[in-house]
Amino acid sequence: MLKLIAPGKRRNKHWLVRGTYEGNYIEKSLKVSLRKDAEAKLRNLIKQYDAVKNEKDNVTFSIASQKYIDFRNPSERTEKWLAKLSGYLGDMLVGEITQNDLVATANSFYPNGAPSSKNRAVIRPAAAVLHYAAENKWCDWLRIRAFREPEPKTRFLSRADELKLHATLRNEGTSQRVNKRLLLLWLFRQGDRISDVLALKHEDIDFKRMSVRRYISKSDRYAELPLDETIARYLKRLQPVTGHIFPWQTHHAVNKWCRKLSNDSGVLFTPHMARHTLGKRLNDAGVGLKTIMQTLGQSDTKSAIRYQTTDVENIRQAKKKMGIGWGKL
């Protein structure tokens, strides 16, 4: 039984549909604000399910993709990838798609692309759809192999290099100096992705709780995290106190002055390196993997495990904390 949930009932901006239909659990944003539009979208959704109810041997990738979206309600970026894949594989039956078809599709989309790009935009979303199709008995299970990727590298800065960046901005004579210093501080202390930082508004800050409610675009969810005390002091002095915190609309605008900052300071720096730096420092401080993931807004342990590298001295200190000794031999 499918039910419509009005905006605001579950902190949702748009109408939601939730429930079970023909054995499939659905919880999906309909992306509309008016009830009549939501009802129309729900009717179309039911028609799509009825169209394939008795044709399980004739489910195409396009149909399976749409049903997977209805079930998982993935991020907008994933929906765009699946729409692009449907344009290429859409008419193929899910039971006829092979590993070679996915490889050919990835190489066609990204002829000179990195293996990580091919996996992220083609192999993984296509595998999710085909595995969902197999779970629903529309096709046999297909083991899908990803392109081999090099080990991820963690690019972090030392304390000295971070201070060089701050000192260079402190001596800058532009009108945006304060905003730039605050953004740099935010990146190193909060560890957010630059696109998520630029989307922040003053309304997301709760000074009473000393917290910030941020949207994590990569995993399409919201999270509340502690607000750094130094950042809070900066924010309290800013005017106005509504709208976006930072004046730059895109990460390209930030990258432009970051390149100049890098040249002027002599420190190789990109905004994402601050995120890596925070992850590395948390690990060196003995923070657990789960806390690192929560701080950086990560949902995949593969992304956080890169910060778990350690050196000889860290291992030595960790063993000392264990307090286990053999005594004299």
Question: By CB neighbour count within 10 A (0-12 exposed, 13-18 middle, 19+ buried), where does 279 fall?
Answer: buried
Query: Do residues 9 and 64 both lie within one domain?
Result: no
CB 210 within 8 A of CB 314: no
Q: Are 217 and 303 found together in one domain? A: yes
Q: Residue 266 pLDDT > 90, yes or no?
A: yes
Domain boundary among 150, 177, 202: 150
Range of the domain at 31: 1-54
Residues 138 and 165 in one domain: no
H-state helical runs in 73-158 = 76-89, 99-109, 115-118, 124-135
pLDDT digits (tens, 9 = 90+) for 180-237: 999 999 999 999 999 999 999 999 999 999 999 988 877 778 888 899 999 999 888 8
Q: How far apart are CA 154 and CA 110, in angstroms?
A: 25
How many distinct structural domains can be found in the chain?
3
Q: Which residue has the higher pLDDT, 63 or 314?
A: 63
**130 vs 286, higher pLDDT:** 130
**pTM, whole model, 2 decimals?**
0.58
Query: Residue 224: helix, strand or coil by DSSP?
Result: strand
**Helix 76-89 with 61-72: angle, nearest 10 deg:** 170
Domain membership of residue 322 (yes or no) is no
DSSP structure string for 35-78: HHHHHHHHHHHHHHHHHHTT-GGG-BHHHHHHHHHHHH---HHH
Q: Note whether residue 23 is domain-resident.
A: yes
Count of Cβ atoms closer than 10 Å to residue 309 Cβ? 11
How far is C-alpha 251 from the chain's CA centre?
A: 15
| Whole-angstrom distance, CA of residue 185 vs CA of residue 202 | 16
Please, what is the average pLDDT of the chain?
A: 85
